[in-house]
Amino acid sequence: MKHNHAARKISLKHQLSDAVSLGLTSHDTVAICGLHPWRSTVDVWGEKKGVLKQTLNLLEPAKIDKELKNYIATLFTLKSGKRVRRSNALLQHPHYPWMVAAIDRSVIGENSFLECKSLTSNQARDWRKELPLWIILQMQHKLVVTGASHCYIAALTGNTELIVHSLSRSERLITALIDKGSHFWQLVQQQQLPVPNGSQATEQAINRLFPLANNYEKIDLPEYAGLLTGYDKLVKQHKKLSKKIAVITQKLKMRMGQASSAYIGNRRVDWRNVHKQTLQTQRLKQEMPDIYEKYLLSKTERIFKIN
C-alpha cells in the first residue's frame, strides 16, 4: 500500500467541530473497533449525525495541556536527540476523506510524528512492557492519515520518567482499519444504525438516542419473530446457569459459616460484614410530607420488557 501522500490540512481554529462532522478521528477508530470501555459504535454514530453530544474521551490517561505537551516534547528531544515541530492543523486523508487526525509534533528530518501522553503510576507499569492495543490502533490511524512511515509515543509518568516507544506502519492493521472505518462511515451517510454489540456503553448510547417513548406509536415487527425465539432460548439457558452458580455460592457459604474469608489455592472468597444505612422513605413521607416533597426528584424513563 502506498502511503507517500500529502494529507489535506484544515485550520486548527475549526478543528474540534470539523473533526466531529468531517470524519473519524483516531479516538473514534478505537471505539468502532470495540476497544473503548465507555464509548460504543452507537456513540460515535450519534455524534457524527449530530444527535448525541460528544462524550468525554475518558480513555486518555490524562488531559494534556499545551504546557505539558511542550515539556514532554522537550524531554523527548533531550532523550532521543530528535528535533520536533508543532503541528497546528487537523489533517484529512486525500483518498479516504472520512479519516481525519491531529498530531502533536512532526519529527524534523523524518517521515514521522510524535504523540505526547501522560500516565498514572499504575498505567506506567503496563506501558513499560508494551503499548496498549488501543494506542496502537490510534497511532495506525494517524499513520494512515499523515502518510508517515513510523511514529514515536512519549509518555510521561509522575513528572519524572519518560517512556518512549516507536511504532512502524502495519499494513495488515491499516487495511483492516480502512475497511472497518469505510463500512462505518457508509452507515453514517446512509442514516443506518450500526449493529449493537451487547456492551454497557452501547446500551447507554441507545438509551440516550431514544430517551422517551411516544405512547401513541405502536409498530408491528413480524420479521423479528426469529430473534425472539433465540431470546427465549437464551433466557432459559441463563436461568439454568444462574441456578448452577447459586448452588456453588450456597455451598461455599454453608462451608464458611461465620468465617469472613476462605482461601482456595491462590483464590480468596470473601463473605464480610458491610454496614449500610437506608432512608425510611415511607415513614418520612407520612411524618414529614413537606420535607419529603421538597427533596423528591421526579423523572421519566423507559422500561424495556418482553412479554
CATH topology of domain 8-205: Lambda Exonuclease; Chain A (3.90.320)
pTM here? 0.80
Which distant-in-sequence residues (6+ apart) come within 8 Å of 2 by Cβ? none
Query: In b/e form, how buried is each residue of 186-221, taking b as 16+ CB within 10 angstroms?
Result: ebbeeeebbeeeebebbebbbeeeeeeeeeeeeeee
DSSP 205-274: HHHHHS-S--TT-----GGGHHHHHHHHHHHHHHHHHHHHHHHHHHHHHHHHTT-SEEEETTEEEE----
Structure confidence at residue 85 (pLDDT): 95
- Cell (9 digits) for 41: 459504535
Q: From CA 77, how far away is CA 101, in angstroms rounded?
A: 23
Q: Report how far residue 168's alpha carbon sits from residue 55's, in angstroms, rounded to the nearest whole number.
A: 30
Cα–Cα separations (whole angstroms), residue 233 to 109, 227, 240:
61, 10, 11
pLDDT of res. 6: 61
For 167-218, write each residue's pLDDT tens digit. Answer: 999 999 999 999 999 999 999 999 999 999 999 999 999 999 999 999 999 9
What does the domain layout of the chain look like in residue ranges? Answer: 8-205, 222-278
The H helix count followed by the E strand count for the chain is 11, 10
Which residues partner with 84 through β-bridges? 107
CA nearest neighbour of 228 among 129, 306, 144: 306
Q: What is the pLDDT of residues 3-61, one digit of tens each?
A: 556 667 765 555 555 556 789 999 999 999 999 878 899 999 999 998 888 765 544 54
How far, CA to CA in Å, does 204 sit from each of 35, 46, 51, 55, 92?
A: 16, 12, 14, 12, 30
Q: Are 261 and 268 in contact (CB under 8 A)?
A: yes
Average pLDDT of the residues of the chain? 90
pLDDT one-digit tens code per residue, 101-123: 999 999 999 999 999 999 888 88
